[in-house]
Amino acid sequence: MMHTEDSQMSRKEREEEFRRNLVLDAAEELFSQKGFDGATVADIAQASELAKGSVYQLFQSKEEIIAGIIRRKMDRMRSRLDDILSKPGQPMEKIRQVITTKLDIVWESREFARIFFHELRGFHWCIESPLMQIDHEEIVDLFKRVENVIKEAQRIGEIRSDISSATLMAAMDGFSNGIIFSWLMNPEEVDVQKAATEVQELFLNGAKADERRPG
C-alpha cells in the first residue's frame, strides 16, 4: 500500500526522489570505501548510473550529498524510536528497545559512521553545517519522550528516583555512545544483540530501584 505522503507526490516528484536515493545510496557506499575526500562527484555519478550533471541538478555539492545521507539516517532513527515510544508497553521494555534500536542502526552503517565521526567531526558538523537543516526542536522532543519513559519507570518504582530523569537519560545515552565509539575504533565483528544486552544491564542495574536506598 502506498504511504499517504507518497500518494500526494506528483510523478515528477517521485521520480526525483527515486534519483536522489540512487545518489545517496551510491555515495554512502563510496564514502565508506574511499572516505569523504577520496570519493568524487564523478565517482558518485558513475556508481548511481546518472550523468554528472544530473547529480548536480539534485545536489549542489558533495557536502550537500553527505548532509542528505545523514538526514536520511536521522529520519530513520526518529521513525523507529517513534514507533517504540508510541505503542503501549512497560517502560523498562521500551528503554531496552530504545537502546537496542540505536545500536542496531549504527552497526548497520558502521563504515559510514567511521567517516562521519573521523572526517567530519560527527555531531559538531551536524550542529555547525548550514546544510543539515535539522529540526532541533524535533530532536529535543524525541529525547524528552524517552526521558518521559524513564520518569514513568521512576513513578512506578522500577528505576531509582534519587537521580534526576535528565541525568539518567544522559547516562543511558552515554553508555550506548561509548559502545558505538569502541566499534568505530575496532574493525572486528561484533555481536550487536549481546552488546545491546550488556548496555541494558549496565544502565538498568545501576538505575534499578533498591528498597534499601532512600528514594
Query: What are the residue ranges spanned by the domains of the chain?
Result: 1-59, 65-215
* Grid coordinates of 188: 572486528
Neighbouring residues of 132: CB distance < 8 A, sequence distance ≥ 6: 67, 70, 71, 125, 126
Distance (Å, rounded) from C-alpha 158 to C-alpha 21? 43
In one letter, which amino acid is 116? F
Q: By percentage, how much of the chain surpasses pLDDT 90?
A: 41
Q: Over 60: is that where the pLDDT of 82 sits?
A: yes
Q: How far is Cα 19 from Cα 59, in angstroms, rounded to an integer? A: 11
Measured distance CA(134)–CA(90) in Å, rounded: 31
pTM over 0.75: yes
Class of domain 65-215: mainly alpha
Instruction: Give the contacts of 171 (CB within 8 A, at least 6 positions apart).
Output: 203, 206, 207
Q: Which CATH number fits domain 1-59: 1.10.10.60, 3.40.50.620, 1.20.120.160, 3.40.50.300?
A: 1.10.10.60
Question: Do residues 81 and 142 touch, judged by C-beta distance below 8 A?
Answer: yes
pLDDT at 127 over 90: no
Predicted local distance difference test score (pLDDT) of residue 2: 44
Q: Would you give the end-to-end CA distance of the chain in angstroms? A: 50
- CA distances from residue 62 to 21, 46, 202, 214 in whole angstroms, order as listed: 14, 14, 40, 55
Compute how many other C-beta atoms are within 10 angstroms of the C-beta atom of residue 103. 21
pLDDT of 54 > 90? The answer is: yes
Count CA atoms within 13 Å of residue 147 on its CB side: 15
Confidence of residue 119 (pLDDT cuts 50, 70, 90): low
**In this structure, are residues 31 and 112 in contact, taking their beta carbons and an 8 Å threshold?**
yes
